[in-house]
Amino acid sequence: MSEQQSEKIKKIWCELFTASKETVSWQWDDRFEMALAQFDADKAAAVKNTIQNQLGFTWEPAEANLSPGPVQEVIDILGGLKPGQVLFTSDPANVFLLCAWWPWNNGKRISIRVACHGREITEDQDRELSGHIRSLVA
């Protein structure tokens, strides 16, 4: 991954975090090593609009099997996409930012998790980008 790609991922995350922090409260999820926000379903439209504006790509269960290889890898890691679940990504060409949208079974709350993924990312680069994401939510 180039320095330019790394800076682009950091910029997208900063913009997503800034645009959403008035609507949701972010924290770090140690279990999945991702940024996490949980919010009431009445905020869903506003949060989803913010994510779509910042990331640009939306993958729902119906088109999950048509997604590019790196996106399919994330979908597989997450255990697939079930109805109501959505994976948002920045441009998945190389290294990208992702946001997993998971409605709760009770229909009253939604969780979103944000991380980076890509085939061209080294362990050190992954640690650096995760550290950057974590620094804004901790």
Q: What does the alpha-carbon distance between residue 47 and residue 73 come to, in Å, rounded to a whole number?
A: 25
| Spans of the chain, pLDDT less than 50 | none
Place of tokens 């959403």: 20
**Which pTM does this prediction carry?**
0.92
> Exposure pattern of 73-90 as b/e (b: 16+ CB <10 Å)?
ebbeebeebeeebbbbbb
Q: Given this model, what pLDDT does residue 138 score? A: 73
**Which helix (H) or strand (E) is 129 found in, with range?**
helix 123-137
Residue-wise pLDDT tens digits, 60-84: 999 888 999 999 999 999 999 999 9
| Residue extents of the structural domains in the chain | 3-137
Longest alpha-carbon distance in the chain: 42
Q: What does the alpha-carbon distance between residue 47 and residue 41 come to, in Å, rounded to a whole number?
A: 10
